[in-house]
């Protein structure tokens, strides 16, 4: 399955923006479902990727290659591990498709009525978890993240990630996500 994802020309490791995006998508999945962390490890086993990512510690270390985390590792992320993370995002998003669709449908209805997302309890819970986890895990002292000190900006990011996850869960979702990670990165 991972072999179907082509290696971009001139790219040997995962670009910084792609590591950021994958980590955000994984964070959003964790906020949609409180058991998503365990589900991610289960997906790694089901896809037989334990040789690449054998346990939760290695999985955490790979996620810490995101340069905007509080705890970050400056080691490069090989494309093979990037493909594995992409597969995990897509498979977990597919299992959460019903929840994602429901949240986005309710969000559309609320926006049509000019009501805030916090009006609907499950959406409010997701946004609250997303804001708390984002602030706990990301380094808000980085100038690139100053924008996200604002409550509203974090809500918008969280809602945008829900839509991206639903696209990942669809037909050709893995290819779509893979190519979006390198959009603008390949010359």
pLDDT score for 184: 61
The structure's pTM equals 0.93
Residue 68 maps to a domain: yes
Domain contains 5: no
Structural domain includes residue 186: no
User: Looking at the domain assignment, is residue 22 inside a domain?
Assistant: yes
Residue 58 belongs to domain spanning? 14-171
Q: Where are the alpha helices (DSSP H) in the chain?
A: 16-32, 36-46, 56-63, 79-95, 97-112, 121-137, 151-169, 173-181
Query: What is the count of structural domains for the chain?
Result: 1
As averages over each run of 10 residues, the pLDDT of the chain (187 residues) reads 81 90 97 95 94 93 92 87 95 97 97 96 97 94 89 95 95 92 67
Rounded to whole angstroms, the Cα distance separating 169 from 174 reads 8
| Residue from 108, 150, 148, 151 nearest 128 by CA | 151
**Would residue 8 count as lying in a domain?**
no
In a domain, 84, yes or no: yes
Look up residue 87 and give its DSSP letter. H
> Quick check: is 161 in a domain?
yes
Q: Is residue 177 part of a domain?
A: no
Q: Which of 39, 167, 44 has its CA nearest to residue 92? A: 39
């Amino acid at each position: 399955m991972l072999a179907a994802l082509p290696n971009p020309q001139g790219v040997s490791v995962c670009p910084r923006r792609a590591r950021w995006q994958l980590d955000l998508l994984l964070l959003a999945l964790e906020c949609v479902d409180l058991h998503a962390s365990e589900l991610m490890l289960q997906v790694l086993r089901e896809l037989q990727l334990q040789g690449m990512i054998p346990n939760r510690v290695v999985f955490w270390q790979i996620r810490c290659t995101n340069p905007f985390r509080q705890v970050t590792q400056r080691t490069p992320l090989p494309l093979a591990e990037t493909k594995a993370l992409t597969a995990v995002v897509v498979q977990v998003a597919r299992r959460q498709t019903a929840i994602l669709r429901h949240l986005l449908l309710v969000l559309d209805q609320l926006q049509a009525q000019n009501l805030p997302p916090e009006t609907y309890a499950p959406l409010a819970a997701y946004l609250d978890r997303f804001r708390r986890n984002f602030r706990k895990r990301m380094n808000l002292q980085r100038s690139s993240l100053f924008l996200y000190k604002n409550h509203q900006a974090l809500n918008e990011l969280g809602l945008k990630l829900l839509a991206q996850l639903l696209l990942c869960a669809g037909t050709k979702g893995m290819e779509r996500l893979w190519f979006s990670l390198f959009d603008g990165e390949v010359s």
